[in-house]
Structure 1
């Protein structure tokens, strides 16, 4: 049974309840003096505490998507991503491995409710292979739109994150569907995955010298693979990118580094400079130019202002990036032709609940800047 299994969660909760009840029931018998009664009390308290903490931890993981599996939790994830050299006709850039319904769509047919496809992406240049989810709106399957090309956006989690959380917890597909049905955003293709494409390492979406070429994968390989398989508008600036936390930093960086590809980038609770810590390892290997490009403050001050749109979010109470976000807005708005927007909440922590409050407005903002779908049928 997997770490995110509802069965595992139910068993952990049941164990906690039974052990708590057993402790109450047996406590009078263990109230006597002596080594055995004392050891019994210690043992009961210990196993009950462990069971309760395990249940709470599983609930938190289910809610926030910190870890995808037991191997991921214990640092034993061995799906390295950069292991297979796919050249020539070996290994399709994109393979559909499964399909699922859009939650709360009110129908099962793709032409009325859209569809989420589970895919495997393979980077021709980066040699990175990773799973992802692709949301296709109902219009994609309708005969009246068979020649239509759709705007597309990459959607990223934080670190370590799980791609499934973007579908089931942050509700990107169902939110996009509701907004489109209400006429508040144009139908859009969403490619949802985590930035951790070489787990367990946090590459901060950097092309690591001698390591994973993560930025190349997201900025070049992924759009090419998706564009070759789906009806995506290939015009310059036709793609968008959005993410939370680490994914938010990556989204801003991609839009700033590659405005010819990304017409808009949205960072939900982002930071603005790649950290170096035990999860990242040495990202730059002494390459000062690479280190500077991973610092968005340096990019604002020294690189030509990119012709793209940026969105940043924060909270006055609950987010540690509030003051930095205000500074980023102030510096970016003076760097035309870059356009900057923001969502600032009165309060909200660095968590799924806060991002769910920001996602509808973010998707509307993204749809307004990626308007190619309206000109293709």
Structure 2
């Protein structure tokens, strides 16, 4: 009840804030005297009320958004991020990623892209407007090109509602340009144009899944010289983007060998007003896919057991995993559903990708 997301914590925070406001209001006439001491007392009293109101509002929002899920998680802002163990289910990750599944998936003609905009001097990102022949969709792709020859591609899926550029900066991917990503082109396609929550699937608004998993890879392979083989392609995302990364790999194992989902769920969660799939998910129910037709891919799923939005569906996927699918559970019990909890995990996530599919990160 008095955990960082507990109702008791929220009620106590509001009681303190309202009580302080009432006390200051009642005492204000007695504080309204000339002199520096009286002025300082009034300033401190107002600051105290303001801080308590902010804390109460923050506790309320945190209870709904699960940004911090425990007091240890809140303390990680100062003490550093909590860690968790990795355990694989189904096939071994390396075996799943190395499985032979036939020709590389995106065999259509390469999509047509506009010339890149000027490279952003702060992030190194190039922006392209990309029209896909397979999907008919025109969207924006941001690309970060490594300083050394390209050997692989990492397709990064942003959260919602967040821009691809923000995802690149928020995760600190540019910090790994001379290390884990020195031979990897990073692709950041915009899967929520005009803030439409497509959840990366095909629908009446656009054939987004086709654009993401066929047109973007086909174009990138030709443009940046990424090898046209699935062991050169991996995916990574957080929150809704984590769902997109896992879904793309599991539904398109001919294109991707492995994926990392940071705080992602395993069934699409559309924003109100857009529901392109049937209630059964139209084949996008990942635990069901794992049980009925497990694909030969390696998926790393990070989540907090206290994240009630994500944990139940992820644990269902873990329980359903069987060869040739590999699902590695990465449970960090004291981490919340926020970028600040995921950014410190990026080095370990990239190391896992490089271990599972050598040379991809």
What is the TM-score with the length of structure 1 in the denominator? 0.62
Report the Cα distance in structure 1 between the residues aligned to 2:323 and 2:226, rounded to whole angstroms.
28
Report the Cα distance in structure 2 between the residues aligned to 1:230 and 1:120, rounded to whole angstroms.
15
On the 8 A contact 2:290/2:325 being kept in 1, the answer is no
Cα distance 1:202–1:287, how it changes in 2: closer, same or farther (>3 A)? same
On the 8 A contact 1:314/1:343 being kept in 2, the answer is yes
Residue 287 (structure 2) pairs with residue 297 (structure 1): yes
Report the Cα distance in structure 2 between the residues aligned to 1:102 and 1:365, rounded to whole angstroms.
27
On the 8 A contact 1:94/1:225 being kept in 2, the answer is no
Match of 2:319 in 1: 330
**How big is each residue's C-alpha offset from its partner over 1:297-321, in whole Å with a ceiling of 9 and x where there is no partner?**
221222x221111010012345642
Residue 188 of structure 1 and its aligned partner are, at CA, apart by: 1.2
**Alignment partner for residue 93 of structure 1, among 94, 113, 126?**
113
Residue 199 (structure 2) pairs with residue 204 (structure 1): yes
Q: Structure 1: which 5+ residue stretches go unaligned?
A: 1-26, 32-44, 61-87, 104-114, 141-148
On the 8 A contact 1:156/1:247 being kept in 2, the answer is yes
Runs of 4+ aligned structure 1 residues displaced above 6 Å come to none
On the 8 A contact 1:251/1:267 being kept in 2, the answer is yes
What is the TM-score with the length of structure 2 in the denominator? 0.65
**How big is each residue's C-alpha offset from its partner over 1:166-190, in whole Å with a ceiling of 9 and x where there is no partner?**
222221121x22543xxxx663111
Report the Cα distance in structure 1 between the residues aligned to 2:148 and 2:182, rounded to whole angstroms.
10
Cα distance 1:256–1:188, how it changes in 2: closer, same or farther (>3 A)? same
Residue 373 of structure 1 and its aligned partner are, at CA, apart by: 6.5
Report the Cα distance in structure 2 between the residues aligned to 1:207 and 1:320, rounded to whole angstroms.
23
Cα distance 1:119–1:368, how it changes in 2: closer, same or farther (>3 A)? farther
Report the Cα distance in structure 2 between the residues aligned to 1:287 and 1:325, rounded to whole angstroms.
19
**Alignment partner for residue 275 of structure 2, among 282, 290, 293?**
282
Residue 327 of structure 1 and its aligned partner are, at CA, apart by: 2.9
Moved more, 292-301 or 249-258: 292-301
SS in 1 for 2:155: strand
Q: How many residues align?
A: 266
SS in 2 for 1:96: coil
Report the Cα distance in structure 2 between the residues aligned to 1:163 and 1:277, rounded to whole angstroms.
18
**Alignment partner for residue 266 of structure 1, among 257, 260, 269?**
260
SS in 1 for 2:343: helix
Residue 153 of structure 1 and its aligned partner are, at CA, apart by: 1.2
On the 8 A contact 1:170/1:352 being kept in 2, the answer is yes
* Greater RCO structure (CA 8 Å; 6+ sep): 2
Match of 1:153 in 2: 154
Aligned-residue CA RMSD (Å): 3.4
Q: Structure 2: which 5+ residue stretches go unaligned?
A: 1-27, 33-45, 62-108
Residue 355 (structure 2) pairs with residue 354 (structure 1): no
Residue 344 (structure 2) pairs with residue 344 (structure 1): no
**How big is each residue's C-alpha offset from its partner over 1:265-289, in whole Å with a ceiling of 9 and x where there is no partner?**
111111111235514x2313x596x
